[in-house]
Structure 1
Amino acid sequence: MRELLQAQFGRIFQKELVDEIEAKGVLKTLEAGTALIDYGKYIKSIPLVMTGTIKIVREDDKGNELFLYYLRGGDTCAMSLTCCTSQKKSEIKAIVESDAVIVMVPLQYMDEWMRFSSWRQFVFASYNARFDEMLSALDAVAFMKLDERLLNYLLDIKANTGSFEIKRTHQEIANDLGTSRVVISRLLKRLADEDQIELHRNKIEIL
């Protein structure tokens, strides 16, 4: 765990804080598709992402899911911080997008570590970054045409995974963007006709 903590947080956190996280955090290795946080559950630990990608989605009152943002190495989930501090049930779902290694920090240490200036700065920066990302997601829903949202969505996945190949079905994309599979298939076909992507079975290649 020490090597991973140093790689991701050694330049951010004080040595004493890294020591605390190593001593009290729980290291977990999670496979793609695992639900790290689920709706309606109390969150008792804060995830610190070492490697991999975590997708954060929110469910509306009709049961439709909307993609919010990704977590990568060096990130934590601001919405889980909020649920922890207010002792609310989770209103988001965190799904492992690509195999991940995380350190789960028990809730009781979140306040205790506020004595470390680097921890305070990290928590506030996480709130700010996730807030900006959620505003971007809201702007996309409110102001962007669906074809623009789709292309931004694909480029966001590429940026987060580092791969030009996106292994996602049309239905999974439709679920993330809050629309139907038929609409997504039509828009993907248009992007393919414009030579921006190539379509394969359960896989999309960005050109």
Structure 2
Amino acid sequence: MVKDLEEAYHLTFEKELLREIAETGKLKTYKEGEKIIEIGDYVTAMPLLLNGAIKILREDKEGDELLLYFLESGDTCAMTLSCCLGQTKSEIRAVAETDTTLIMVPIAKMEEWTSKYKSWRNFVFESYHTRLTEMLDTIDTIAFLNMDQRLMRYLRDKAKINQNEEVQVTHQEIAYDLHTSRVVISRLLKKLELDGSIELRRNNIKINDL
């Protein structure tokens, strides 16, 4: 755990803070597709992502999901942090995009480190700013981009997160993430293939236009 922690956060935290995180944090592993946080859960610890990737989703009143953003190694979820400090229920769903390893930091330590370590304060504030920017970007995408542009952006993000130009995802999964129907996604994927932006294969989608 210590090695993975240092690899992910050595440029973010000083050695003493890394040592404290390793001593007090709880290591968690999740398989691809496994839920990490569910809407309505009370969140009692803040996740620090060591490796893998997580997608953060919001749900409307009808139960349809919307992808907000992805988290990568070295990230945390600011919305989860808010729930921890406010002791409120989670308003997001976190799902492992790939096999993922986390360290869960208890609330008491989060508050202690805020006053003790400048690097921790900076990390928390920067996380808030980054996630807010990403959510605003998501809103802009929904408001101003056509669905085919949203779809292409989604595929590029998936390729980046997985570090692979071949994305393993079903048409239905894309439809869930983009809050639309499978029929619409299938039609747009075919259009993108005809344009040469992607190649539709049996079990994956190859992104040509990264």
Residue 54 of structure 1 pairs with residue 42 of structure 2: no
- Residue 199 of structure 1 corresponds to 200
Q: Considering only aligned residues, what root-mean-square deviation do their CA atoms show, in Å?
A: 0.8
Following TM superposition, by how much is the alpha carbon of 1:205 offset from its aligned partner in structure 2, in angstroms? Answer: 1.0
SS in 2 for 1:98: coil
Following TM superposition, by how much is the alpha carbon of 1:12 offset from its aligned partner in structure 2, in angstroms? Answer: 1.4
Following TM superposition, by how much is the alpha carbon of 1:37 offset from its aligned partner in structure 2, in angstroms? Answer: 0.5
SS in 1 for 2:41: coil
2: CA distance, partners of 1:177 / 1:157: 13
- Residue 179 of structure 1 corresponds to 180
2: CA distance, partners of 1:87 / 1:28: 21
- Residue 107 of structure 2 corresponds to 107
- Residue 155 of structure 1 corresponds to 156
2: CA distance, partners of 1:19 / 1:117: 15
2: CA distance, partners of 1:11 / 1:182: 45
Following TM superposition, by how much is the alpha carbon of 1:161 offset from its aligned partner in structure 2, in angstroms? Answer: 1.0
- Residue 74 of structure 2 corresponds to 74
2: CA distance, partners of 1:83 / 1:27: 20
Residue 136 of structure 1 pairs with residue 137 of structure 2: yes
Following TM superposition, by how much is the alpha carbon of 1:201 offset from its aligned partner in structure 2, in angstroms? Answer: 2.6
- Residue 38 of structure 1 corresponds to 38
Moved over 3 A (4+): none
Residue 93 of structure 1 pairs with residue 93 of structure 2: yes
1: CA distance, partners of 2:205 / 2:5: 34
The code of the aligned residue for 1:189 comes to K
- Residue 27 of structure 1 corresponds to 27
Which runs of no fewer than 5 residues in structure 2 stay unpaired?
Answer: none
TM-score of the two chains, using structure 2 as the length reference: 0.96
Following TM superposition, by how much is the alpha carbon of 1:16 offset from its aligned partner in structure 2, in angstroms? Answer: 1.4
**Deviation sequence 1:113-162 (CA, Å, 0-9, x none):** 11200000000000000000000000001111111000001011111111
1: CA distance, partners of 2:201 / 2:179: 22
2: CA distance, partners of 1:186 / 1:10: 45
Which runs of no fewer than 5 residues in structure 1 stay unpaired?
Answer: none
TM-score of the two chains, using structure 1 as the length reference: 0.98
1: CA distance, partners of 2:24 / 2:144: 44
2: CA distance, partners of 1:186 / 1:202: 17
| Percentage of identical aligned residues | 50
